Amino acid sequence: MTDDRAPGTPVSATATAVPAASVPTGTPLLRLTEVHSYYGNIHALQGISLDVFPGEIVTLLGANGAGKTTTLKTIHGLLRPRTGTIEFEGKDITTMPAHDHVRIGIGQSPEGRRIFSRMSVLENLQMGSYSRKDKGSLDDDFARVFELFPRLAERRTQHGGTLSGGEQQMLAIGRALMTRPKLLMLDEPSMGLAPILIELIFKITQDINHQGTTILLVEQNARMALGVADRAYVLQTGRIIKTGAGQALLEDEEVRKAYLGG
Q: What angle do CA 214, 156, 177 make, to 5 degrees?
A: 10
Phi-psi region of 89 (alpha: psi -120 to 50; beta: other; left: phi over 0): left
Task: Rank residues 152 and 184 by Cβ distance to ligand ATP and give the closer one.
Answer: 184
**What is the edge-to-edge ordering of all strands in the sheet holding 183-187?**
16-17, 239-245, 231-236, 57-61, 214-219, 183-187, 106-109
Closest to ligand ATP by CB, 222 vs 248, is 222
CB of 24 to ligand ATP, least distance (A): 25
The mark string for 57-86 relative to ligand ATP (x by CB under 6 A, - otherwise) is -----x-xxxxxxx----------------
Interface with ligand ATP: number of residues (CB under 6 A): 12
Of residues 149 and 259, the one with the C-beta less far from ligand ATP: 259
Cα within 13 Å of Cα(22), Cβ side: 5
Nearest-angstrom CA–CA distance, 202 and 139:
25
Out of 30, 35, 44, 201, name the contact with ligand ATP by CB under 6 A: 44
Beta strands 57-61 and 231-236 are parallel
- Give residues 4-43 in contact with ligand ATP (rule: CB under 6 A): 39, 42
Name the minimum Å distance from CB 65 to ligand ATP.
4
Closer by beta carbon to ligand ATP, 48 or else 171: 48
Backbone angles phi, psi at 88, to 5 degrees: -125, 125
Q: Considering beta carbons, is residue 31 or 68 the nearer one to ligand ATP?
A: 68
Residue span 208-237 as binding mask against ligand ATP, x where in contact by CB under 6 A, dash where not: ------------x-----------------
The DSSP code for 56 is -
Residue 111 φ then ψ, to 5°: -60, 140
* Binding residues vs ligand ATP (CB under 6 A): 39, 42, 44, 62, 64-70, 220
